[in-house]
């Protein structure tokens, strides 16, 4: 049996959150390797693991997969979670797109607020705290679609 998937990302929700959610839905345990310093990210880049020089990156089944949608498609296909029909697929893609837009908007709000802080340490702490507090749209999606069971 293959080892646990390894998720490489920052210590926060962001673009990795949908991947964590999908792995959890599949019942797959995973290991998280947090990128905590610029050196951590540079090592992944310099070792040639990041095709587009960006994270998230998931090590799984002997591959290093980058780009959120590619990772989600691989996991969904592997664990038969891509929906039984086009209606279910639309609901899944709706969640995925909403999560990505929500993450981007949250980052912009955080950056705007962080400009009011005085020191770099305070900005880092504030952004990290707010990223951990941020609730994704999954609660809303589950609530709305629970009454619209396919």
Q: What is the pLDDT of residue 133?
A: 58
Give the other-Cβ count within 10 Å of 9's Cβ: 20
pTM listed for this prediction: 0.62
Please tell me the chain's helix, strand, coil percentages from 3-state DSSP, rounded to the nearest 5.
55, 10, 35
Per-residue pLDDT band at 15 (split at 50, 70, 90): confident
pLDDT: which is higher, 135 or 66: 66
Quickly state the pLDDT bin for 27 (edges 50, 70, 90): very high
Determine how many CB atoms are found less than 10 A away from the CB of residue 19.
22
Mean pLDDT (whole number) for 42-64:
92
Residue range 72-120, pLDDT digits in tens: 889 988 998 877 788 877 877 777 676 655 555 554 554 454 455 455 4
Q: What's the CATH number of domain 6-78, 3.40.50.880, 3.40.140.10, 3.90.1300.10, 3.40.30.10? A: 3.40.30.10
* Bond prior to 107 in cis (omega within 30° of 0): no
Share of the chain above pLDDT 70, in %: 62
Which pLDDT score, from 0 to 100, does residue 99 have? Answer: 63
CA 23 to chain centre: 11
Rank 78-87, 88-97, 124-133, 137-146 by mean pLDDT and report only the highest: 78-87
- Token couple for 130: 């707010």
pLDDT in the model for residue 129:
63
Gap between the Cα atoms of 30 and 76, Å rounded? 15
Q: SS3 of 60, please?
A: strand
Determine what percent of the chain is predicted with pLDDT higher than 90: 32
Provide the residue ranges of all domains of the chain, joining segments of one domain with +: 6-78, 86-146
Give the C-alpha distances (Å, rounded to integers) separating 9 from 40, 60, 95: 10, 15, 20
Q: How many C-beta atoms lie closer than 10 Å to residue 53's C-beta?
A: 11
Which pLDDT belongs to residue 134?
54
């Amino acid at each position: 049996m293959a080892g646990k998937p390894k998720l490489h990302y920052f210590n926060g929700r962001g673009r990795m959150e949908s991947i964590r959610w999908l792995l959890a839905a599949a019942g797959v345990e995973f290991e998280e390797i947090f990128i905590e310093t610029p050196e951590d990210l540079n090592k992944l880049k310099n070792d040639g693991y990041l095709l587009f020089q960006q994270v998230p990156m998931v090590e799984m089944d002997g591959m290093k997969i980058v780009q959120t949608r590619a990772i989600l498609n691989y996991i969904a296909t592997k664990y038969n979670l891509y929906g039984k029909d086009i209606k279910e697929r639309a609901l899944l893609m709706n969640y995925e797109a909403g999560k990505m837009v929500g993450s981007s908007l949250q980052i912009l709000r955080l950056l705007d607020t962080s400009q009011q802080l005085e020191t770099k340490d305070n900005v880092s702490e504030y952004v990290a705290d707010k990223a951990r507090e941020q609730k994704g749209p999954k609660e809303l999606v589950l609530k709305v679609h629970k009454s619209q069971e396919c």
